[in-house]
Structures are given as structure tokens and as C-alpha cells.
């Protein structure tokens, strides 16, 4: 496995599944082999892939490998099934209800991404996630990177810029890429995705550069 990326948050509805799917497409369209890991018992990612397959008999769903693995043993099991040339993208369930699975993903992932909308409530909810990461990191064989992805950004508002500055001042690693509040993202569930020339391609390039991963 060349790289592993996990989307984490305390609560549901923060854009973890959407982010994981779109990033997987972006990496695939950039020529990388991708393993999408649906670690949520709700299996929204698997359902998304199944809906695409049902609507196109020539398709098997997502154009990359997809597995369901809602297990607190992710950090052992994903390396066993991932191929050496693959990038694993892990859709992690909400930590408040599935802490053991989330902790395992934290222990595994090279890149831990926390998607948050740029307002106080979601930013404040990062604290328990960051505490879990701090508690788990000593168990890792090598350090992981934890970063904030500003999500559902309203372009006409200054909230994202202000949130970015405040988070950076507080010592958070805020990704340069940010995801705007657009219908093509918020209503993409069940639809095939074209991620080239989108914010998710920018995110993919940023993560690959950080991890020094080449095609």
C-alpha cells in the first residue's frame, strides 16, 4: 500500500463519505490504483457504488476496488488486503458511535483528514477527534499527519478565510484545498463522478505531494 487516507469526524453528516468517494475518483483519474474502504456499518459508500452499477449494466460501480470493512481491526486487516501499488481511502464512521473503528483507522492512516464546515459548532467538535488521535499516535509504528479540510465553503462569505486563519493561529494544519458548497458535491450520492479539474483533484495533488507519492 503506497498511502492510506482516512476521513474522520465526531458526528455524521460532515462530508466524510462524499469526500472519500470524490477523492478516490480524483486519485483514480490521476492514474493511481485505489482501494476504497467503507468502514461504516451504514455502508453508504458501498450503496453508492451499487446504485451506479444498477443504473449501468456495463459498470460494476466505482471504477476502483471497493471493500466493506466496519471492523475495529482495520489497522491489521487493510494492510492484508491492500495491494502494494494501491492508495487506500477509508470512509470512517462517526467517532461518537463507533469509537473502536475510528481508533483503528487513526492507527492505520498516513493522512487523517477532518472535514469541517467553517463555523464554530463543527470546529469545536474537532477537539474529541484530536484527543483520540493524540492518544492513539504513540501506538503507531511511524508518525501520521492530521489535517483539517474546510468543507461546504460558501464562496461569497469570508467565514472560510477567517476560520483558516484562526485554525492556523491555533496550530492546526489546514489543507490548502477547500471544498465549496456546490450541488455537484452535496447531491452526488448514487451518481458517477468526474473529479478531474475539481477541488478534489487539487486535494489529491496536495496529499500526494505531502506523502511524496508518484504515479
Residue 85 has pLDDT above 80, yes or no: yes
Helix (H) or strand (E) holding 75: helix 74-81
Q: Which residues of 72-103 are buried (b: 16+ CB within 10 A; e: fewer)?
A: bebbebbeeebeeebbbbbbbbbbeebeebbb
pLDDT digits (tens, 9 = 90+) for 174-195: 999 999 999 999 999 999 999 9
Cα–Cα dist 71/73, whole Å: 5
State the chain's mean pLDDT as an integer: 94
pLDDT class of 132 with cuts at 50, 70, 90: very high
Rg (CA), the chain: 16
Q: Give the mean pLDDT of 88-98.
A: 96
pLDDT(215) > 70: no
Q: Please compute the mean of the pLDDT values over residues 70-90 and round it to a whole number.
A: 97
Q: pLDDT of 27-51, one tens digit each? A: 999 999 999 999 999 999 999 999 9
> Which listed CATH number (3.30.70.1560, 3.50.30.30, 3.40.50.300, 3.40.50.2300) goes with 3-211?
3.40.50.300
Return the percentage of the chain with pLDDT > 70, whole number.
Answer: 99
Cα–Cα distance for residue pair 132/153, rounded to 1 Å = 26
| pLDDT for 212 | 86
pLDDT at 138 over 90: yes
pLDDT digits over 143-162, tens only? 899 999 999 999 888 989 99
Is 0.85 surpassed by the pTM of this model?
A: yes
118, pLDDT greater than 70: yes
**% of the chain residues with pLDDT over 90:** 81
pLDDT of residue 12: 85
Nearest CA to 22 out of 91, 125, 68 is that of 91
Amino acid at each position: 500500500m503506497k498511502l492510506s487516507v482516512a476521513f474522520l469526524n465526531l458526528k455524521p453528516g460532515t462530508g466524510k463519505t462524499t469526500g472519500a468517494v470524490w477523492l478516490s475518483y480524483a486519485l483514480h483519474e490521476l492514474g493511481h490504483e485505489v482501494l476504497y474502504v467503507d468502514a461504516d456499518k451504514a455502508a453508504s459508500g458501498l450503496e453508492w457504488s451499487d446504485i451506479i452499477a444498477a443504473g449501468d449494466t456495463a459498470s460494476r460501480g466505482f471504477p476502483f476496488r471497493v471493500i466493506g470493512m466496519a471492523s475495529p481491526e482495520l489497522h491489521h486487516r487493510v494492510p492484508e488486503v491492500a495491494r502494494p501499488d494501491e492508495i487506500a481511502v477509508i470512509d470512517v464512521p462517526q467517532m461518537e458511535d463507533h469509537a473502536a473503528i475510528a481508533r483503528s483507522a487513526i492507527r492505520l492512516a498516513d493522512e487523517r483528514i477532518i472535514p469541517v464546515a467553517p463555523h464554530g459548532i463543527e470546529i469545536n467538535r474537532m477537539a474529541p477527534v484530536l484527543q483520540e488521535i493524540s492518544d492513539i499516535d504513540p501506538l503507531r509504528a511511524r508518525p501520521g499527519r492530521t489535517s483539517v479540510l474546510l468543507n461546504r465553503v460558501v464562496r461569497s462569505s469570508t467565514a472560510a478565510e477567517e476560520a483558516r486563519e484562526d485554525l492556523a493561529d491555533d496550530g492546526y494544519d489546514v489543507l490548502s484545498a477547500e471544498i465549496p458548497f456546490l450541488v455537484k458535491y452535496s447531491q452526488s450520492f448514487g451518481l458517477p463522478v468526474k473529479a478531474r479539474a475539481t477541488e478534489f483533484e487539487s486535494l489529491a495533488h496536495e496529499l500526494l505531494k505531502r506523502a511524496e507519492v508518484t504515479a
